Structure 1
Amino acid sequence: MLDANLKAQLKAYLEKVTRPIEIVASLDDGPKSEEMLGLLNDINSLSGQISLDTSGDDARKPSFTLSSPGQDITLRFAGLPMGHEFTSLVLALLQVGGYPSKATAEVIEQIRGLSGEYHFETYFSLSCQNCPDVIQALNLMAVLNPNVSHVAIDGALFQDEVEKRQVMAVPSIYLNGEVFGQGRMGLEEIIAKLDTGASAREAEKLNTKEAFDMLVVGGGPAGASAAIYAARKGIRTGVVAERFGGQVLDTLGIENFISVTETEGPKLASALEQHVRHYDVDIMNLQRAVKLVPASQDGGLNEVHFASGAVLKSKTLILATGARWREMNVPGEAEYRTRGVAYCPHCDGPLFKGKRVAVIGGGNSGVEAAIDLAGIVAEVTLIEYNSSLRADAVLQRKLYSLPNVTVITNALTSEVKGDGKKVTGLVYKDRSSSDFHTLELEGIFVQIGLIPNTDWLKGSVELTDRGEIVVDDRGQTSLPGVFAAGDVTTVPYKQIVIAVGEGAKASLAAFDHLIRSSAPA
């Protein structure tokens, strides 16, 4: 099952375990069980600390549990944790085997302090880059706290469950049988939802912090770059973000970040955070900015207010809150979000295997999504507002070569139809004839660009009609001492490499402002 290279790497990791690992598999006569047995035999052969028992009788087959003698651990994989989930399997083996987590002591203490019963089930797909964060977080919680159990379920393999529960987006998390959340969630975010007093305690802690010389609002590539450049100047630097990594966390393949031939969004986001933590930077996560109070004209400090109730002060600010997927804003979209309306084809595509779907948008993202989905679903209809597609020629040639793809141009999506539980169709208007047409389908993937995260800045800093922060060639906004960088600004071409450069430039400009305004007359 595992090639020689993977075996060698896994064997080296397993040398770090400090206690026995028991694997109990529940198998049937199907081909997937045969594959799982091959995987587990390979793992079993790599360490004397591992034992394998194939007499499990769990209702989900194939599946297997990981535990350790004398430890109260309930952790199960239902399906083969390969693809993006192989790392989750490796981490689970290490942590069940006693290897310590990299989570902070404070977070570990929070997990161990949770009381009550928490039975988690997570539906994932092997192509989902957002799923591993959730699965790894819940697996760690199951290892550290006997009150927590977790089952990671491959939705493509257990289609009956997916249909019964109407799971149409991954990761989908259930707690004690009820929906707990959907989409990427990190360990701290999950704990915050369970420990309801955590947000207030964190806000109280943030409110005691001294003013920063430079505060970066946003943890994407622009924010990370700005923080590194500021910290290297030796000034008091903070980064506050709703989630560190930003849009990069939702990006699958990255092949145009110079000097890195190929990587994936979550890997790059992790590398960015590790680089920032290499310096003396105060990183504050899970904080959503809601208000900017600029410094007074005669000096003073800028204030940023957050949804948690926290308020942070700083001499200079860099706004790098990025952007989010643009929505269609048509009837039915909000009602059927995660119930057929999706925004991540890589994550949710496998749940629509053999079904009919539409992709909205004819740019690179839309055409790439249609190409990827064509290999999974029965039919793809791509709908583009303009009279022709905007994607690169090489992508268009690939798209038109696929037999199960239909392209409709000059069309305006008008309504999402559903039966109250899931999507059943889409209505579009032919812009040349004004006629309305209905497509019967089960899924709609929206890929129509980005919208800047600037709702919280209205009335405080100059914005364009599209909501982008107006900046000059140094990243300066309309407010003295307040700079901006990345996809949230008017700088054209929203690319990771450009955001990194703009973050560095804004940071240098903010530092220049800081030393000039602080210099004695």
Structure 2
Amino acid sequence: MLDASLKEQLQAYLQRVVQPIELVASLDASPKAAEMKELLHEIAALSDKITVLESNDDTLRKPSFAIKRAGSDVAVRFAGIPMGHEFTSLVLALLQVGGHPIKFDDAVIEQIKNLDGDFEFEAYISLSCHNCPEVVQALNSMSIINPRIKITSIDGGVFPDEVEARQILAVPMLFLNGEYFGQGRASVEEILAKLDTAGGARRAAELSKQEPFDVLIVGGGPAGAAAAIYAARKGIRTGVVADRFGGQVLDTLAIENFVSMKETDGPRFAIALEEHVKHYEVEIMNTQRASKLVPGKMIEVQTESGAVLKTKSVILATGARWREINVPGEKEYRNHGVAYCPHCDGPLFKGKRVAVVGGGNSGVEAAIDLAGIVAHVTLIEFGDALRADAILVKKLKSLANVDIITSAQTTGIHGDGKKVNGLSYTDRNSGASRKLELEGVFVQIGLVPNTEFLKGTVELSRFGEIEVNARGETSVPGIFAAGDVTTVPFKQIVIAVGEGAKASLSAFDYLVRSSVEEEPVAAAA
């Protein structure tokens, strides 16, 4: 299962294990069970603190295994073999169950310990999903801190009958005590906010008591992180309020055009951004979504949780999100056949027929990736030609299980009440209506800026982007903006970083000039 290099690395990590671990396997006669048994014995051979046991409990999923702290209730369970993107989750679980410290803020750890109740989570994942590990690792850590929290991470590819029965067409998908809990990437703070609503209110009250900031950045993506770093280096009081630190980068699989690094992935890049910001004295307020901006001499930023933050200047870096096609059926079947991340959800459509809506780079790349998994892909483009790079179009056209339909306007997504079974479109040349029978629709038509809460506050373009000048200034003094949320062309990470730095320098210049203007003029002698 593990090659020599991987075994060597894992053995080095396992030296940090300080408490005995039991790998308790629940096996059947399947090939996957044989693979799992081999993997567990390979891991146990790398540390004298790890042993392998087998369970006869027929109520447990097979094949699955628990990583258990010997003589305690501390355990996490994997149903399937956690390789691919989940290998890091496996390593972290081994270390943390084995007594290695969990790197959460003290306040978060206390909140987890104080949760009152029994919580049994089931997390459905795919090993190709780059969003799943954050959820798995958060829940694993929570269960180690508070053993009343139980977690089983389930590879949908190993348990297809469960996936079908529960109509799971998007991952990660969480169930709590048998009931649907949520879908998509989620940090430990976001999970806690849903479990402990009183804790969210307490947090909002604490934030409202803070002293005013010199500069408050709204948004934690590349633009927001760069702005925070540049502001903090000036020695001024800096804060970041963000729905989730990392922003849209967290949903990006491959990054191969950021100058100075040949390649990385979005989650890894987001972690690096946060670590860099934390190197400075920056107050990071995560899981706080801005709901209102009130201009004035002292600007107010209000959040959905009820917090009210005051600041002398603001940098808006709220980024953008996937654009929806806004046709009947899209919202109704979201996560039930309508998807936006081919890397995460593609494996759930293995052997099925799907459509990709959008003929730009993201749409064509999605179609190429999906063609290697699903039975057939139909790419639908509104314009009369694909807009993607020529090399991508050439690759797409070489694939035997792909059809391309141009000059087509998607008009509806259909289903049986539980999941998608078709898509309709209008031929823009003939006006004829047509319908495709399929099981999945991947929407890839670009981005929409996150500016709904700013309407009537700062000037927006007809596309909803924040109008900025060359200095990152908006139409309101003291309010600046940077990144994908603005009118600056070319939505790229490297450009967002530069714009964030520029907006921060402009905000500092504004603060300096404002302080000079406020100084009283000395009385004449």
TM-score normalised over the length of structure 2 = 0.97
CA distance in 2 between partners of 1:13 and 1:221 (Å): 31
Matching of residue 322 in structure 1 with residue 319 in structure 2: yes
Counterpart amino acid of residue 43 in structure 1: I
CA distance in 1 between partners of 2:486 and 2:119 (Å): 42
CA distance in 2 between partners of 1:62 and 1:319 (Å): 48
* Equivalent pair of 1:73/1:149 in contact (CA under 8 Å): no
User: 1:57, CA displacement in angstroms?
Assistant: 4.1
| 1:459-493 C-alpha deviation (Å, 9 max, x unpaired) | 00000010000000010000111100000000000
| 1:338-365 C-alpha deviation (Å, 9 max, x unpaired) | 1100001100111111000000000000
Structure 2: gaps spanning 5 or more residues? none
The aligned runs of 1:379-394 (5 Å cut-off) are 379-394=376-391
User: 1:61, CA displacement in angstroms?
Assistant: 2.1
Matching of residue 334 in structure 1 with residue 335 in structure 2: no
Which residue of the partner structure matches residue 196 of structure 1? 197
Matching of residue 456 in structure 1 with residue 453 in structure 2: yes
Matching of residue 488 in structure 1 with residue 523 in structure 2: no
Which residue of the partner structure matches residue 2 of structure 1? 2
Deviating more after overlay: 367-376 vs 68-77: 68-77
SS of the aligned residue for 2:18 comes to: coil
User: 1:55, CA displacement in angstroms?
Assistant: 4.2
Return the match for 1:309 from 300, 306, 310. Answer: 306
User: 1:38, CA displacement in angstroms?
Assistant: 2.2
CA distance in 1 between partners of 2:379 and 2:61 (Å): 36
SS of the aligned residue for 2:19 comes to: coil
| 1:205-247 C-alpha deviation (Å, 9 max, x unpaired) | 0110011000000000000000000000000000000000000
CA distance in 1 between partners of 2:230 and 2:4 (Å): 42
Which residue of the partner structure matches residue 213 of structure 1? 214
Counterpart amino acid of residue 26 in structure 1: S
* Equivalent pair of 2:24/2:54 in contact (CA under 8 Å): yes
Which residue of the partner structure matches residue 61 of structure 1? 62
Which residue of the partner structure matches residue 139 of structure 1? 140
| 1:268-319 C-alpha deviation (Å, 9 max, x unpaired) | 0000000000000000011111111111xxxx21111111111111111100
Matching of residue 418 in structure 1 with residue 415 in structure 2: yes
CA distance in 1 between partners of 2:81 and 2:230 (Å): 43
CA distance in 2 between partners of 1:57 and 1:391 (Å): 53
Counterpart amino acid of residue 266 in structure 1: P
User: 1:62, CA displacement in angstroms?
Assistant: 1.7
User: 1:69, CA displacement in angstroms?
Assistant: 1.8
Return the match for 1:435 from 432, 436, 442. Answer: 432
Which residue of the partner structure matches residue 101 of structure 1? 102
CA distance in 2 between partners of 1:439 and 1:113 (Å): 52
Which residue of the partner structure matches residue 360 of structure 1? 357
| 1:492-513 C-alpha deviation (Å, 9 max, x unpaired) | 0000010000000110111111
* Equivalent pair of 2:75/2:97 in contact (CA under 8 Å): no
Which residue of the partner structure matches residue 236 of structure 1? 237
Which residue of the partner structure matches residue 503 of structure 2? 506
* Equivalent pair of 2:329/2:412 in contact (CA under 8 Å): yes
The aligned runs of 1:49-128 (5 Å cut-off) are 49-58=49-58, 59-128=60-129
The aligned runs of 1:172-187 (5 Å cut-off) are 172-187=173-188
Matching of residue 515 in structure 1 with residue 516 in structure 2: no
CA distance in 1 between partners of 2:284 and 2:158 (Å): 39
SS of the aligned residue for 2:128 comes to: coil
SS of the aligned residue for 1:260 comes to: coil
* Equivalent pair of 2:424/2:435 in contact (CA under 8 Å): yes
| 1:241-260 C-alpha deviation (Å, 9 max, x unpaired) | 00000000000011111111
CA distance in 2 between partners of 1:75 and 1:293 (Å): 46
Counterpart amino acid of residue 481 in structure 2: A
Which residue of the partner structure matches residue 294 of structure 1? 295
SS of the aligned residue for 1:212 comes to: coil
User: 1:17, CA displacement in angstroms?
Assistant: 1.2
Return the match for 2:472 from 459, 475, 479. Answer: 475
Which residue of the partner structure matches residue 40 of structure 1? 40
Deviating more after overlay: 158-167 vs 67-76: 67-76
CA distance in 2 between partners of 1:55 and 1:422 (Å): 37
CA distance in 1 between partners of 2:56 and 2:82 (Å): 18
* Equivalent pair of 2:69/2:75 in contact (CA under 8 Å): no
CA distance in 2 between partners of 1:117 and 1:284 (Å): 28
CA distance in 2 between partners of 1:388 and 1:225 (Å): 37
User: 1:87, CA displacement in angstroms?
Assistant: 0.6
SS of the aligned residue for 1:376 comes to: coil
Structure 1: gaps spanning 5 or more residues? none
Counterpart amino acid of residue 18 in structure 1: V
Which residue of the partner structure matches residue 403 of structure 1? 400
User: 1:326, CA displacement in angstroms?
Assistant: 0.2
Which residue of the partner structure matches residue 245 of structure 1? 246
CA distance in 2 between partners of 1:454 and 1:80 (Å): 42
| 1:406-456 C-alpha deviation (Å, 9 max, x unpaired) | 100000000010111000100000000010000000000000000000000
SS of the aligned residue for 2:367 comes to: helix
| 1:83-104 C-alpha deviation (Å, 9 max, x unpaired) | 1100100110011101110011
Deviating more after overlay: 397-406 vs 2-11: 2-11
* Equivalent pair of 1:366/1:448 in contact (CA under 8 Å): yes
* Equivalent pair of 1:74/1:148 in contact (CA under 8 Å): no
Aligned-residue CA RMSD in angstroms? 0.9
CA distance in 2 between partners of 1:428 and 1:385 (Å): 10
CA distance in 2 between partners of 1:517 and 1:196 (Å): 40
Deviating more after overlay: 1-10 vs 51-60: 51-60
CA distance in 2 between partners of 1:341 and 1:459 (Å): 33
CA distance in 2 between partners of 1:28 and 1:256 (Å): 46
Counterpart amino acid of residue 314 in structure 2: L
CA distance in 2 between partners of 1:424 and 1:397 (Å): 29
Counterpart amino acid of residue 68 in structure 1: R
CA distance in 2 between partners of 1:291 and 1:110 (Å): 28
| 1:88-133 C-alpha deviation (Å, 9 max, x unpaired) | 0011001110111001111111111112111100000011111011
* Equivalent pair of 2:227/2:500 in contact (CA under 8 Å): yes
CA distance in 2 between partners of 1:421 and 1:74 (Å): 34
CA distance in 1 between partners of 2:206 and 2:266 (Å): 31
| 1:165-188 C-alpha deviation (Å, 9 max, x unpaired) | 001110000000000000011101
User: 1:29, CA displacement in angstroms?
Assistant: 2.7
User: 1:73, CA displacement in angstroms?
Assistant: 2.1
SS of the aligned residue for 1:242 comes to: coil
